[in-house]
Amino acid sequence: MMMLNRSQHMGGRSQEKNALEELERIRLQLIDRCEYQNEKNWVASVSCLNRISLSKVLFYDEIVRRITNIPGVVMELGVQWGALTSLLYNLTSVREPYNFRRQIVGFDTFSGFPERSLSQAELDQGWKAHDLAGAADAKQLAERCLEAHQVFSGMSHMSRHEFVEGDVMETLPVWFDANPSATVALCVFDMDLGIPTREALKHVLARSQKGTVLVFDEYAHPRFPEEGMMVRQVIDTMKLQPMKSELLPYTSYIVL
Ligand SMILES: C[S@@+](CC[C@H](N)C(=O)[O-])C[C@H]1O[C@@H](n2cnc3c(N)ncnc32)[C@H](O)[C@@H]1O
């Protein structure tokens, strides 16, 4: 079996790796040097946000703007550290400040890939159980981050987020059963693997409606080919068009 080191897993040229490390050093120095708290947040975050991360922010703003006129929750399948959860929370706070019903629900094992989610092809590619696990306190960090962002929302007295821990193949049907009135406005599939994407997609489709947006983060990613392959097993792409934003190379979305 081919084993990959972390940089092979995550990709990128050595110049990019060096530039990322340099931005990280600068970010910590800026936090240290800036005098005011709001200055630390703005200067350190924005100066060091590279083109790739900025493209993601702009892409998800396009996506959130597509759902402001349809009901339902925003789901994120595959949360890891909660970065995208925070972004989705903040974008919905900006774009629909008074929609207290726009729940952001993030699902993750918080311990990386479950063994039974990996196909033989993915194992042969070098992926293994618990890859992409964050730290032991990743969920707590994500929770703290969302609580801090809530303070800046237009309806700061109301919580609009929830994290669901466990294998999505078990937790997603349970969540839908516990929330019979919930429909899906937006679901971001970001688990990277084929099997949980296929199974979750079936559950999500059953609660979707016309206009629901489904984002597949690795729809055309050579390191995760099974995500797109499994989507195409469930969805007829001759009838539903996967759209590619000009901002991101691997991600596609479908508007039902
Ligand atoms: C690429 S990361 C998610 C990154 C996150 N969406 C972001 O942009 O900040 C993939 C995550 O999917 C999770 N994952 C993979 N298979 C899963 C499954 N069957 N159930 C729950 N989580 C799963 C992993 O634990 C990992 O944290």
Residue 168 CA: nearest ligand 1 atom is 20
Residue 191 CA: nearest ligand 1 atom is 12
Interval 88-101 mean pLDDT:
96
pLDDT in tens, 9-26: 556 789 999 999 999 999
Q: Give the residue whose CA is nearest to atom 8 of ligand 1.
A: 84
pLDDT in tens, 23-69: 999 999 999 999 999 999 999 999 999 999 999 999 999 999 999 99
Ligand 1 pocket check: which of 9, 60, 108 to mutate, most ligand atoms within 8 Å of Cβ? Answer: 108
Q: Give the residue whose CA is nearest to atom 6 of ligand 1.
A: 79
Strands (E), the chain: 73-77, 104-108, 161-165, 184-189, 213-216, 252-255
Given a cut of 70, is residue 6 above it in pLDDT?
no
Ligand 1 pocket check: which of 52, 74, 109, 171 to mutate, most ligand atoms within 8 Å of Cβ? Answer: 109
Q: In the listed set 49, 65, 89, which residue is the last one of a domain according to the structure?
A: 49
Ligand 1 center from residue 168 Cα (angstroms) = 9
pLDDT in tens, 132-142: 998 999 999 99
Q: Binning pLDDT at 50, 70 and 90, where does residue 164 land?
A: very high
Same domain, 131 and 206: yes
Residues 6 or more apart in contact with residue 256 via CB below 8 angstroms: 208, 209, 210, 211, 212, 213, 214, 240
Q: Domain range spanning residue 131?
A: 51-255
Ligand 1 center from residue 198 Cα (angstroms) = 14
Q: Binning pLDDT at 50, 70 and 90, where does residue 214 land?
A: very high
Residue 210 has what pLDDT?
A: 97
Same domain, 14 and 121: no
Same domain, 45 and 69: no
Ligand 1 center from residue 36 Cα (angstroms) = 35
Same domain, 151 and 36: no
CATH number of the domain that residue 188 is part of: 3.40.50.150
How many domains is the chain partitioned into structurally? 2
Same domain, 6 and 60: no
Same domain, 134 and 147: yes
Same domain, 133 and 121: yes
- Among the listed residues 12, 5, 229, 250, the one whose alpha carbon sits nearest the alpha carbon of residue 121: 229
What is the Cα–Cα distance from 88 to 79, expressed in whole angstroms? Answer: 11
Ligand 1 pocket, CB under 6 A: 76, 78-81, 83-84, 107-109, 112-114, 117, 132, 167-169, 190-193, 196
